Structure 1
């Protein structure tokens, strides 16, 4: 149990990936609202800092795991920095080798150090091909919250724990102010989680047929940027590709002002959900039952591959494993199904 009082200082460890780090936002907001005097430091990668910039009592400390803090000796240097922070508790919501090594360094410090229960056994039962236990597991948001509960800071997360939308201040991009902005993030870490671009082109063409709509494309990486540029040109003037043109902070400004985000099982969906933006997610070999659905979204917003055609779904927690032929499972989600879901969310009277 962690020490309480005005000097309480909790270190939160979550080094990657972007979506998992983004899922911390509503949990941290619940923590700061429940314990307004609690000082928080988040150990993560510097590039994720803009997600948390408006959360009071929270400081982001960079973990340079590819540079100064690489390897055991680098982690010891990081430990020496952390030791000077006057910590009273440590919440490891990552629980990987790096954070476990840090835990070993803290062994004799008498600082409470709690690691997340990832539910690995339940997840294995969910994705195994035979005798599958197909049921919804605890959400990652709740697993994060459980760590703080074990430290003596119980919290309840609800729809009030949202980031505030930000004013859009862009120099390189001009977006129409009189249109409904729909974000589309068509990429994910694995092909098995990525909706085919040809089908996405059909979705986009149907959406821009609604004259009041303007599409904003998000992505990263040189190859993706080029593909998104081609996609935007093919569909027409009602599409703006911001990939590779803006800072992460500027992208967050746009995301916070969207009316809908269409995303894969990936980070952009979590970023949008943090601002209360309705998020439609597409699921291939992964499934929202594993606990990674965006925060506060109704189950109807999670569109999943057809389990009648692909009965072993889900086959993976992260999208990196699947039987032969299952890599195309996500294509079983019909473009019209996606468009109709967005139409219902926007309550548009369009054909």
Structure 2
């Protein structure tokens, strides 16, 4: 039976990885409410993720962070007269909108911030098991009556994105393995596996016959170009050349992605590509570890972890030992094991 809501608003401003993880629930919401008008409010820079989508009626955007911009969007939203408002972010700005908007049904995400603070500040684990962020979203939308249907829901890719990826990533030669992608960037420096380690790992992968690809946004262009110059054979450097959806389509054409704890991880898994991911200042309890069965998380157990909720803080000891202790050889062994395992798509 369809959900009893004619107009629904979902709020999630950022970050890219969190929004990618939200997409399956937006699709399930559309399936559960086929005739409803569904709006998403997000930051303008992430709206391109929903180009040509078929599950949202409109993507509303917020550009600035000041009170004026918040007041502007609040007036815009109030005119819509929503039947249901979903705060899938749980930060001050989203909560301000959530509490100021009138709607018969209003629900907000539970991010268990008390347990996160206790683990960071006091190294006291109050978590009762690990709840992936995708499960937090599923529990949130279940309050509206959205069933948590079984099976994986991949990120829908428009034909234009796949065509651009096909032009950017040529097909592998007959009998040759699919390429391996590398995403050395991350918003926060504390989350980045060392540049020298990426160079060595890419050399090891190339030595085993794998062609390599560099992926990243405009902020990663200089760093990735420097890495590419140190690797032979030279990798295909797509950094800054593709849109978000085109990057996802390029990752769909790869055997695996090697990445930090950042958005490319979730983008790759959203199209079924497994990852080898490096974790330093954050831990599994926060809910952002890889989800695919073949994916691998590499970390170093240290008493100082976690030191940050998202990697924004500098390493308190100035060593980044949690990441530097992960050797390229260990990463290559994990990557080789992943690539040797047969793929089974859900």
SS of the equivalent of 1:258 reads coil
Q: CA deviation at 1:195?
A: 0.4
Q: Does the 8 Å contact 1:228/1:241 carry over to 2?
A: yes
TM-score (norm 1): 0.85
Partner of 1:339: 332
Partner of 1:170: 164
Q: Does the 8 Å contact 1:9/1:89 carry over to 2?
A: yes
Q: CA deviation at 1:57?
A: 2.8
Matched residues in 2 for 1:123 and 1:16: separation? 19
Partner of 1:286: 282
Q: Does the 8 Å contact 1:11/1:89 carry over to 2?
A: yes
Q: CA deviation at 1:250?
A: 2.3
Matched residues in 1 for 2:218 and 2:269: separation? 23
Q: Does the 8 Å contact 2:25/2:141 carry over to 1?
A: no
Matched, 1:273 2:269: yes
Matched residues in 2 for 1:208 and 1:246: separation? 23
The 5 Å alignment of 1:107-186 reads: 109-133=102-126, 136-150=129-143, 152-156=144-148, 158-164=150-156, 168-170=162-164, 174-178=168-172, 179-186=177-184
Q: Does the 8 Å contact 1:183/1:258 carry over to 2?
A: yes
Partner of 1:17: 15
Q: Does the 8 Å contact 1:12/1:93 carry over to 2?
A: yes
Matched, 1:318 2:310: yes
Matched residues in 2 for 1:248 and 1:95: separation? 24
Matched residues in 1 for 2:235 and 2:338: separation? 20
Matched residues in 2 for 1:311 and 1:249: separation? 38
Partner of 2:211: 214
Which piece of structure 1 moves more, 311-320 or 263-272? Answer: 311-320
Q: CA deviation at 1:198?
A: 0.4
Matched residues in 1 for 2:170 and 2:234: separation? 9
Q: CA deviation at 1:117?
A: 1.2
Matched residues in 2 for 1:118 and 1:174: separation? 38
Output the aligned Cα RMSD.
2.7
Cα deviations by residue, 1:200-243 (Å, 9 ceiling, x for unpaired): 111100111122x2211122345x31221121122124511111
Q: CA deviation at 1:125?
A: 2.7
Matched, 1:76 2:71: yes
Partner of 2:225: 229
Matched residues in 1 for 2:341 and 2:124: separation? 43
Q: Does the 8 Å contact 1:191/1:327 carry over to 2?
A: no
Partner of 2:50: 52
Matched residues in 1 for 2:168 and 2:288: separation? 33
Q: Does the 8 Å contact 1:182/1:214 carry over to 2?
A: yes
Q: CA deviation at 1:257?
A: 2.3
Q: Which of 23, 26, 35 lines up with 2:24 in the alignment?
A: 26
Which piece of structure 1 moves more, 162-171 or 176-185? Answer: 162-171
Task: Identify if the C-alpha distance between structure 1 residues 137 and 37 changes in structure 2 by more than 3 Å, giving closer, same or farther.
Answer: same
Matched residues in 1 for 2:213 and 2:132: separation? 29
Q: Which of 88, 101, 118 lines up with 1:93 in the alignment?
A: 88
Unaligned 5+ runs, structure 2: none
Q: Which of 242, 245, 270 lines up with 1:246 in the alignment?
A: 242
Unaligned 5+ runs, structure 1: none
Partner of 2:98: 103
Q: Does the 8 Å contact 2:178/2:253 carry over to 1?
A: no
Q: CA deviation at 1:166?
A: 5.7
Q: CA deviation at 1:111?
A: 3.4
SS of the equivalent of 1:180 reads coil
Matched residues in 2 for 1:253 and 1:347: separation? 23
Q: CA deviation at 1:25?
A: 1.4
Q: Does the 8 Å contact 2:41/2:62 carry over to 1?
A: no
Matched residues in 2 for 1:157 and 1:126: separation? 32
